[in-house]
Structure 1
Amino acid sequence: MMVYDAAATARALPWAPLVHAIERTLLDLAQGQVQAPERWVLPLATDTSWFLMPAWLSASAGDLAAIKLITYAAANPERGLPAILGDVLVVRASTGERLALLDGPTVTARRTAAVTLYAAHRLAPRPVGPLLVIGTGVQALAHVAAFTEALGVDEVWVSGRTPASGRAFTQTLHQHGLFAEVATDLDAALQRCPMIVTCTPAQAVCLRGTVRDDAFVAAIGAFTPAMIELDPALTRDIAERGQVVIDSAAARHEAGDLIAAGLTLTDCATLAEQPARQDRGPVLFKSCGSALWDLAAARCVAESPRLPTF
């Protein structure tokens, strides 16, 4: 069994192959070749939960299974620890042979950003930036990397929880050779940026106002009914002017942003339903996460020449 640390896991999940693996997994799902039970969330301690997320391919589609076992502790950054800790185990489905052990936080960051990237390719009216990112954590960095490396976005505006966190994040981006500035006026940033990503701890609304007609808003941080990032009035406005797409069917009862806005979630198409880009209005892509995306990451790694062939 190959064991990948965080750096090796990142190298094994380049954007283009990972997006392709996501697309293939969605096609296999539509053909009944994928099983992905809804995740189990078990309380371990106060404000700390254990997530168990299995998914697998039929033998004809790839004979592959993956299970992610991670803990999520929202207060961990204050302790000097990552909010997400854990692993993804990749096995051959027919035999149970262990193929790889991947770093869970790295898989989560890269596959989440890659799903957003896939959605932007399909749905964004103007997928060229500038990009406004709200949040300064791991997911924010992964999304900036995905949008700049894979979409060619060359201008990034940052809104952090505090001015200091925003400045520190822009300095990190500068070290990667990117143009980045702190967005001190969010209303102005919304008018400048057609690409917007919210990736905060989702403990309070972080985005309100009015987005452009050609905006693509990816709301990443909220993944339970009690979590929220978007002002409900903003969510309703996008739904009325454009379209709302969710990453998976489970988001219909997990997406706090959409629930708070009172949307009829059965009207929201999933990525598996292959929604088409509309010819007018903004797009809201609501991502709550799914074992489907971990399985796609496992496919990406399993097809590497470093692992035994199937």
Structure 2
Amino acid sequence: MLSITAEVVHQALMFPKLVNALQVAFTESIEVPPRLHFDMENPNASRETTLLMMPAWQAGDVAGIKLVTVAPENSQKNLPSIQGTYLLLDVDTGSIKAMMDAPSLTAKRTAAASALAARFLSRENSSTLLVVGTGTLAPQLIAAHASVRPIRQVYVWGRDIKKALQVCQQVEHLNINCKAVDELEPHVKLADIISCATLSTKPLIFGRWLQAGQHLDMVGAYRPDMREMDDTCLTRSKVFVDNIESAVRETGDIAIPLAENVITQADINADLFSLCRKTFVFNRTDEDITVFKSVGHALEDLAAAKLVSEFVLKK
């Protein structure tokens, strides 16, 4: 059994190769049961610790399961908020092929899914990116979006501008002008793509700020009580998700507006399955605003884990 570190996962999963692999995976026959989501009471924190179990398999090939915990207040303990492992198995024999670091795998595939959506939904000449949030995903989202669009200017906003500056330092190798900013509204208005990856429970992005032609990439708000955008973002936009089944249940950005009849499920235009299989073709107009809401899908993990395993075996 291979034991694969976070460093090797990052080496193996380069953009846009991973973006392309996800696009193919969304067209293939991969079995993905509903993920198991448990909120475990934690008296030592103000919020529960979440346990996620995400299985997927491809007949006659490989299977995988991701075991992840999310402890939102871990930053106060100098620990990552997301921890866990990914197991890749051989379907034929049932044996474990590899065990690899799950947070790095998750960060890479999540950013790649956002870039894949942007490939279908954002303007082809999008050159300015605003990243909201300064966690592990921020530099990955910058690199992923820059692999599919001609990004030249990046703004990074977070509650701590020192952390925003650190994100810019982490992407210096991309040769993109990156600037940490302390005001959100004016930079939302400047951006072609707004990528939001936070643990916020209240909206950070407001629909009244949005401009024609923009694309919103909403990555955080992984629980039904979390939100990163307000209702107006949805009512002003054409809405897309990575997978409809999970999006309507698991993220407050979609579940709350559905429950309050702000939108209906019919207002979700398509998911990545429909876009990649070309059963839904989006023809953007100059006035369109698009929203992509990502909740994560075990298919993405399996496709990424296969790439990592192949990379290690070739070394």
TM-score by length of 1: 0.89
- 1:254 partnered with 2:257: no
Residue identity in the other structure for 1:75: E
The residue that corresponds to 2:274 in the other structure is 273
8 Å CA contact 1:38–1:290 kept in 2: the answer is no
The residue that corresponds to 1:49 in the other structure is 50
8 Å CA contact 1:219–1:287 kept in 2: the answer is yes
Alignment equivalent of 1:200, drawn from 198, 201, 219: 198
Distance 1:171 1:18, change over 3 A: closer
- 1:227 partnered with 2:226: yes
After TM superposition, give the deviation of residue 93 of structure 1 in Å: 1.2
CA distance in 2, matches of 1:130, 1:185: 16
Distance 1:50 1:305, change over 3 A: closer
Residue identity in the other structure for 1:299: K
8 Å CA contact 2:15–2:143 kept in 1: the answer is no
The residue that corresponds to 2:299 in the other structure is 292
Query: Secondary structure of the equivalent of 1:230?
Result: coil
After TM superposition, give the deviation of residue 198 of structure 1 in Å: 0.4
Higher mean alpha-carbon deviation, 278-287 vs 266-275, is at 266-275
After TM superposition, give the deviation of residue 117 of structure 1 in Å: 0.7
Give 1:163-242 correspondences, 5 Å limit.
163-174=161-172, 177-208=175-206, 209-238=208-237
After TM superposition, give the deviation of residue 177 of structure 1 in Å: 4.3
After TM superposition, give the deviation of residue 151 of structure 1 in Å: 3.1
Distance 1:212 1:155, change over 3 A: same
CA distance in 2, matches of 1:26, 1:195: 23
1:143-162 CA distance string (max 9 Å, x none) = 01212345341210111113
- 1:8 partnered with 2:3: no
8 Å CA contact 1:91–1:97 kept in 2: the answer is yes
Distance 1:125 1:116, change over 3 A: same
Query: Secondary structure of the equivalent of 2:65?
Result: strand
Aligned length in residues: 297
- 1:37 partnered with 2:43: no
8 Å CA contact 2:121–2:284 kept in 1: the answer is no
The residue that corresponds to 2:144 in the other structure is 146
User: 5+ unaligned residues in a row in structure 1: which ranges?
Assistant: none
- RMSD over aligned Cα atoms: 2.0
Residue identity in the other structure for 2:179: E
1:216-267 CA distance string (max 9 Å, x none) = 11000012221100022222222xxxx1100012112223112333221244
Residue identity in the other structure for 1:21: A
User: 5+ unaligned residues in a row in structure 2: which ranges?
Assistant: 43-47
Give 1:62-211 correspondences, 5 Å limit.
63-126=61-124, 128-174=126-172, 177-208=175-206, 209-211=208-210
Distance 1:94 1:54, change over 3 A: same
After TM superposition, give the deviation of residue 106 of structure 1 in Å: 0.3
After TM superposition, give the deviation of residue 174 of structure 1 in Å: 4.2
CA distance in 2, matches of 1:303, 1:171: 30
